[in-house]
C-alpha cells in the first residue's frame, strides 16, 4: 500500500514538479491522511529521492452547530422562511414550537437585518428576498479554513459556529536522486551475496545511527553464586570474616606441608593434583623459621608431642606449585598469620574455587567450589564442633545431622557430617570437619591451649540439591546448560 502511494507521489512530482499539500492528493478514492503521507514520504526522503517540508496551519473549522447552519441556513434565515410560509405571520410561541431554541436568536437577528417586523402579536415578513450571509461565510470557512473578514470571523466565533484548529500537511519536491521507480535497498549483507558476488551490484541502506539498538539480554548470576550469597549471609550472621581466596596457584607448602600432609601422601600425586609446569616451583620459601619447624614436625613430631612421620622431609617437594586442591590452603596461611600477629579468637570463612585432577562425570568436576570455615579459640572441644555444625546447618533447615569418624591428615578427630534429605529419601554427606592437629598448630607457634575447628563442603552439592540438578556438568564446564543458568531463580537455603 505504501509502495502504491509512493508511486502516486513520484508520478505527481514528475508531472507537476511540486506537491504543495499532500492532503490534497486522492489515493484509493480518499484524501491522503497525514499518517499515510508520512510513512510514504519518510522512506523516499531517506533515499534522497524527494525533499519535504512539514507545515502547520492555524485554521477555523465549523462546530457541530456551525455544520447544521451551513447545511440548513442560519437561525435568522430559518425564522424568515417559517414566517414566509405562514399565511399571515406567526406569534413568538408558534415560531418557538416550530424552531425550538433557534427561534429566539433567529428572530432577534432577523429583526436587526430588517427581514421581519411586528404586526400586533404577529411577526410578519418585511422583505421578499434575503441573502443568508452567515451560511455562505460558514461554507467558505468549511472550504478554505479561513475568512478575510475578521469582524465576521469574530462574530461567528462568538456564536460558537466555528472554532480554531490546526492542520498539518507536507509539501514535497524532487530530491537529488529523484526517479520514478523506488529502488529496493538491501538491509543486510548476506553470506550468499558474498559468495556469488552479487553484493557488488546491490545498493545498501544507509546506517540509521538514530535507531534504537536491540536491547541487550540481561546478565544473570550463576546459580552457584546465588547459593554462595546465601552461605555468605549465614557466615556474616554468625560473625565470621571472609578470607582472601583470590589466588588459585599455591605453593605445595601451604596446600599440604603446613597442614601436616605427608610428602608421600597420595593426594600429592599428579593423579589427584594439578601441578604447574612453568614455573614448576617457587624459588624459595619465605618463612624460613616456620619452614624449619614444619620440617621438624613432619620428621619427628617437633614440639607437638607426637612422633612425626619419621621420614625425611624435602623442601624441594614443598616448593612445587599446584592449583590449590582445597581452600584449606588459605586457612593454613590465615592461621599462621594469626600465630605470628599474636593469637586472638577468630572465625574465618571462604567460598571459592578449587581444582582436582579428577575424571569428570555426573557428580565430579575438575574445578569446583568449597565452602570453608575455621573457628579458633582456647579450649574448644569436639562438642563445640558438633554444636556449631547444628547451628550452621540448622540455618538451612538441615536439622537431623549424623557424624561419622573419618580421616584427614590435618585434623584429629575428623568427622563427616550427614544430613537426612527428605526429597532424596536418604542420608547425604554434607560436609567434612575436624579439629586441626597439634602437629599443625604447634609448628605455627599457636599457644598450646588453642584449639581450632575446621570444616569444608562443596558449594555444588547444596546447589544441585536446591535446584534439583542431577548432572553437575550442566552447572559448569563445556556442557553447561545456559538456559538453566539464566532461568534459575534466587534461592533461600532456609526456606
Binding residues (CB under 6 A) for ligand PHE: these are: 326, 328, 372, 408, 411, 432-434, 454-456
Output the smallest distance, CB 385 to ligand PHE, in A.
10
Distance CA 401, CA 388 (A): 12
Measuring CA to CA, how many Å separate 436 from each of 2, 256, 439, 450? 81, 13, 8, 10
Output the smallest distance, CB 406 to ligand PHE, in A.
9
Output the smallest distance, CB 359 to ligand PHE, in A.
18
Output the smallest distance, CB 214 to ligand PHE, in A.
45
Long-range contacts formed by 311-316: CB under 8 A, 24+ apart: 311/262, 311/263, 311/264, 313/257, 313/263, 314/263, 315/285, 315/291, 316/281
Distance CA 285, CA 42 (A): 74
**DSSP element (H, E) containing 373:** strand 367-378
Q: Which is nearer to ligand PHE, 172 or 389 (CB)?
A: 389
Cβ neighbors of 395 (< 8 A, separation 6 or more) are 234, 237, 493, 494
Q: Which is nearer to ligand PHE, 20 or 381 (CB)?
A: 381
Measuring CA to CA, how many Å separate 98 from each of 78, 101, 102, 104, 135? 10, 9, 9, 12, 20
β 346-355/241-242 pair status: parallel
Output the smallest distance, CB 241 to ligand PHE, in A.
16
Distance CA 489, CA 487 (A): 6
Q: Which is nearer to ligand PHE, 326 or 369 (CB)?
A: 326
Output the smallest distance, CB 405 to ligand PHE, in A.
13
The DSSP output letter for 182 is P
Which of 270, 289, 271 is closest to 280 using CA atoms? 270
Q: Which is nearer to ligand PHE, 107 or 433 (CB)?
A: 433
Q: Which is nearer to ligand PHE, 301 or 434 (CB)?
A: 434
- Centre a 10 Å sphere on the Cβ of residue 245 and count the other Cβ atoms it contains: 20
DSSP states of 21-78 as a string?
A: -GGG-EETTEEPPHHHHHHHHHHHHHTTSEEEEEEEEEEEEE-HHHHHHHHH--HHHH
Distance CA 50, CA 260 (A): 85
Using an 8 Å Cβ cutoff, are 446 and 472 in contact? no
Output the smallest distance, CB 418 to ligand PHE, in A.
14
- Centre a 10 Å sphere on the Cβ of residue 411 and count the other Cβ atoms it contains: 24
Q: Which is nearer to ligand PHE, 52 or 392 (CB)?
A: 392
Using an 8 Å Cβ cutoff, are 438 and 305 in contact? yes
Using an 8 Å Cβ cutoff, are 378 and 345 in contact? yes
Using an 8 Å Cβ cutoff, are 329 and 255 in contact? yes
Output the smallest distance, CB 407 to ligand PHE, in A.
10
- Centre a 10 Å sphere on the Cβ of residue 230 and count the other Cβ atoms it contains: 20
Q: Which is nearer to ligand PHE, 68 or 267 (CB)?
A: 267
Q: Which is nearer to ligand PHE, 319 or 461 (CB)?
A: 461
Output the smallest distance, CB 322 to ligand PHE, in A.
14
Cα dihedral sign, 432-435-438-442: positive
Q: Which is nearer to ligand PHE, 134 or 328 (CB)?
A: 328
Using an 8 Å Cβ cutoff, are 231 and 492 in contact? no
Q: In what order do the strands lie in the sheet with 401-408?
A: 241-242, 346-355, 367-378, 450-458, 426-436, 411-421, 401-408
Output the smallest distance, CB 326 to ligand PHE, in A.
4
Output the smallest distance, CB 332 to ligand PHE, in A.
10
Output the smallest distance, CB 451 to ligand PHE, in A.
13
Q: Which is nearer to ligand PHE, 52 or 256 (CB)?
A: 256
Q: Which is nearer to ligand PHE, 123 or 329 (CB)?
A: 329
Place of cell 459556529: 161
Q: Which is nearer to ligand PHE, 44 or 415 (CB)?
A: 415
Amino acid at each position: 500500500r505504501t509502495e502504491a502511494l509512493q508511486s502516486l507521489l513520484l508520478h505527481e512530482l514528475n508531472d507537476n514538479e511540486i506537491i504543495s499539500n499532500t492532503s490534497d492528493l486522492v489515493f484509493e478514492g480518499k484524501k491522503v491522511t497525514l499518517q499515510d503521507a508520512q510513512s510514504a514520504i519518510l522512506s523516499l526522503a531517506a533515499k534522497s529521492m524527494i525533499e519535504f517540508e512539514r507545515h502547520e496551519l492555524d485554521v477555523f473549522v465549523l462546530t457541530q452547530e456551525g455544520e447544521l447552519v451551513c447545511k440548513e441556513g442560519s437561525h435568522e434565515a430559518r425564522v424568515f422562511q417559517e414566517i414566509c410560509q405562514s399565511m399571515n405571520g406567526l406569534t413568538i410561541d408558534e415560531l418557538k414550537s416550530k424552531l425550538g431554541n433557534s427561534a429566539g436568536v433567529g428572530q432577534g437577528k432577523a429583526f436587526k437585518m430588517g427581514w421581519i417586523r411586528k404586526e400586533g402579536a404577529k411577526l410578519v415578513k418585511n422583505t421578499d428576498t434575503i441573502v443568508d450571509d452567515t451560511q455562505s461565510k460558514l461554507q467558505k470557512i468549511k472550504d478554505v479554513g479561513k475568512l478575510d473578514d475578521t469582524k465576521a470571523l469574530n462574530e461567528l466565533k462568538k456564536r460558537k459556529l466555528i472554532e480554531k484548529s490546526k492542520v498539518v500537511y507536507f509539501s514535497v519536491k524532487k530530491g537529488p536522486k529523484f526517479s520514478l521507480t523506488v529502488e529496493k535497498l538491501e538491509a543486510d549483507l548476506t553470506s550468499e551475496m558474498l559468495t556469488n558476488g552479487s553484493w557488488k551490484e546491490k545498493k545498501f541502506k544507509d546506517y540509521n545511527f538514530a535507531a534504537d539498538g536491540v536491547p541487550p539480554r540481561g546478565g544473570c548470576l550463576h546459580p552457584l553464586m546465588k547459593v554462595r550469597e546465601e552461605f555468605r549471609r549465614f557466615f556474616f550472621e554468625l560473625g565470621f570474616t571472609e578470607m582472601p581466596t583470590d589466588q588459585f596457584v599455591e605453593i605445595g607448602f601451604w596446600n599440604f606441608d603446613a597442614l601436616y600432609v605427608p610428602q608421600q601422601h597420595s593426594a600429592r600425586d599428579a593423579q589427584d593434583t594439578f601441578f604447574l609446569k612453568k614455573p614448576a616451583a617457587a624459588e624459595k620459601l619465605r618463612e624460613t623459621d616456620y619452614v624449619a619447624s614444619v620440617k621438624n614436625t613432619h620428621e619427628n613430631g617437633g614440639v607437638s608431642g607426637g612422633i612425626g612421620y619419621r621420614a625425611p622431609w624435602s623442601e624441594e617437594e614443598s616448593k612445587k606449585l599446584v592449583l590449590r586442591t582445597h581452600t584449606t590452603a588459605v586457612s593454613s596461611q590465615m592461621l599462621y598469620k594469626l600465630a605470628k600477629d599474636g593469637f586472638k579468637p577468630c572465625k574465618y570463612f571462604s567460598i571459592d574455587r578449587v581444582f582436582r585432577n579428577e575424571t569428570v562425570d555426573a557428580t565430579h568436576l575438575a574445578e569446583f567450589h568449597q565452602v570453608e570455615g575455621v573457628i579458633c579459640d582456647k579450649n574448644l572441644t569436639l562438642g563445640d564442633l558438633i554444636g556449631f555444625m547444628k547451628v550452621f546447618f540448622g540455618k538451612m533447615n538441615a536439622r537431623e545431622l549424623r557424624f561419622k569418624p573419618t580421616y584427614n591428615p590435618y585434623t584429629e578427630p575428623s568427622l563427616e557430617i550427614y544430613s537426612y534429605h527428605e526429597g532424596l529419601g536418604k542420608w547425604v554427606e554434607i560436609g567434612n570437619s575436624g579439629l586441626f592437629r597439634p602437629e599443625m598448630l604447634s609448628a605455627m607457634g599457636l599457644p598450646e591451649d588453642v584449639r581450632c575447628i575446621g570444616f569444608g563442603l562443596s558449594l555444588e552439592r547444596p546447589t544441585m540439591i536446591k535446584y534439583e540438578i542431577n548432572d553437575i556438568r550442566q552447572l559448569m564446564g563445556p556442557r553447561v546448560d545456559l538456559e538453566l543458568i539464566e532461568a534459575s531463580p534466587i534461592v533461600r537455603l532456609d526456606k
